[in-house]
Amino acid sequence: MKNFSVTFLFLLAFLGAGCQDRLEYSIVIHGGAGNITPEYISPESASAIEAKLSEALDRGTRILASGGSSLDAVVDVIRIMEDSPLFNAGKGAVFNHAGKNELDASIMEGSTLNAGAVTGIGDIKNPITAARIVMEKSPHVLMMGAGASGFAARHGAEIVDSGYFFTERRWNDLQKKIQKDTVEKYGTVGCVALDRNGNLAAGTSTGGMTNKRFGRIGDSPIIGAGNYANNNSCAVSATGHGEFFIRYTVAHDISALMQYKKLTVVEAAREVIHKKLGKAGGKGGVICVDKYGNMAMEFNTAGMLRAWGNSKGDRGVRVF
């Protein structure tokens, strides 16, 4: 009888651990990590960034609240940020060493592990849409350069000429206020979400690294490094010094620590960002949502532009 009671208690504890309540929906957005402090960003720029993060968050939350998919929420949120010159993605993309724009993006759905990504494209208005097209319309996961652009354009992605990415005076003005090697370098955008059906999705989009060598690919289009989603664990989007995020397979490592070592999403994100990357000198951050809707926003830089919301009514937008 005693043995039976002990077994029963263990069983209860086990079921309890496995049956954490799931939120109806949850979403986190980032606009890059780096030296984001009042010293480098003026009050006017901070207000503009906050307003854009808020607009993107509202769009994503509305989609999820009305029963839309996490995939749709992630794409729409990222398109809003790509269309703004405030972030290093889409319209605001930085220039490489050769004076060109090479944009990358990736997307993944946690229910199927389907994924799509593009790298080194210079003529697609919304790289995140090109990534979704590669995922949904091609047998491939990752496509680069003209091959990627051509394929996305044939499936309806909007083409722009290179002038689209050229910065207006306002963008130049803004940039002067933002120290180089910080926000410019780490201004990648991303979004992770859990929808009412329990499906996770993750998306990441970047304009690359200012003055990077022609042909360099960072972590943003690399599934498992800058982006990952798995309904068994979590969705992750990363931003930072991409080379470290590739070598440490950051996004998949967070998922693996949850699945195999039973860490929580916050513990896993901290382990990777503060212990592993921190020790190696890799700077950046991640946003995560786990399968229950719990969030993590961890960074080892001075700041990370971020916004979050969920079905409990939690909502936040942070520049500093």
Residues serving a catalytic function are: 188
- Whichever of 76 and 219 has its CB closer to a second copy, that residue is 219
CB 155 to a second copy: min, Å: 12
Q: Are 158 and 126 in contact (CB under 8 A)?
A: yes
Instruction: Name 318's bridge partners.
Output: 306
Instruction: Name 290's bridge partners.
Output: 234
Interface residue with a second copy, options 228, 291, 300, 305 (CB under 8 A): 228
Maximal CA-CA distance, the chain: 79
Site membership for a second copy, residue 186 (CB under 8 A): no
Phi, psi of 148 (to 5 degrees): -70, -45
CB 168 to a second copy: min, Å: 28
- What is the amino acid identity at position 177? K
- Whichever of 41 and 256 has its CB closer to a second copy, that residue is 256
CB 159 to a second copy: min, Å: 16
Site membership for a second copy, residue 153 (CB under 8 A): no
- What is the amino acid identity at position 289? V
Stretch (H or E) spanning 304: strand 303-310
- Whichever of 53 and 273 has its CB closer to a second copy, that residue is 273
CB 228 to a second copy: min, Å: 7
Binding mask 96-135 for a second copy (x = CB under 8 A): ------------x----xxx---xx---------------
CB 169 to a second copy: min, Å: 30
Q: Segment contacting a second copy (CB under 8 A): 75-83, 197-205, 213-221, 300-308?
A: 213-221
Q: Which residue has the tokens 């957005």?
A: 29
Interface residue with a second copy, options 146, 158, 274, 275 (CB under 8 A): 146
Rounded to the nearest 10 degrees, the angle between the axes of helix 145-154 and helix 127-137 is 80
Q: Segment contacting a second copy (CB under 8 A): 30-38, 84-92, 187-195, 211-219?
A: 211-219
Using CB under 8 A as the binding rule, the residues of this chain from 245 to 274 that contact a second copy are: 246-249, 252-253, 256-257, 260-261
CA distance readout (Å), 161 to 91, 100, 165, 180: 11, 12, 8, 26
C-alpha 104/C-alpha 87 separation (Å) is 14
Site membership for a second copy, residue 150 (CB under 8 A): yes
Q: Are 54 and 46 in contact (CB under 8 A)?
A: no
Q: Are 294 and 287 in contact (CB under 8 A)?
A: no
Binding-site size for a second copy (CB under 8 A) equals: 44
Interface residue with a second copy, options 242, 284, 285, 303 (CB under 8 A): 242
Pairing of strands 227-229, 200-206: unpaired
CB 117 to a second copy: min, Å: 9
CB 164 to a second copy: min, Å: 21
- Whichever of 81 and 107 has its CB closer to a second copy, that residue is 107
- What is the amino acid identity at position 270? R
Q: DSSP of 235-274, one letter per residue?
A: EEEEEE-HHHHHHTTHHHHHHHHHHHH---HHHHHHIIII
C-beta atoms surrounding 165 within 10 Å: 21
Interface residue with a second copy, options 222, 235, 295, 304 (CB under 8 A): 222
Interface with a second copy (CB under 8 A): 108, 113-115, 119-120, 138-148, 150-151, 212-218, 222-225, 228, 242-243, 246-249, 252-253, 256-257, 260-261, 280
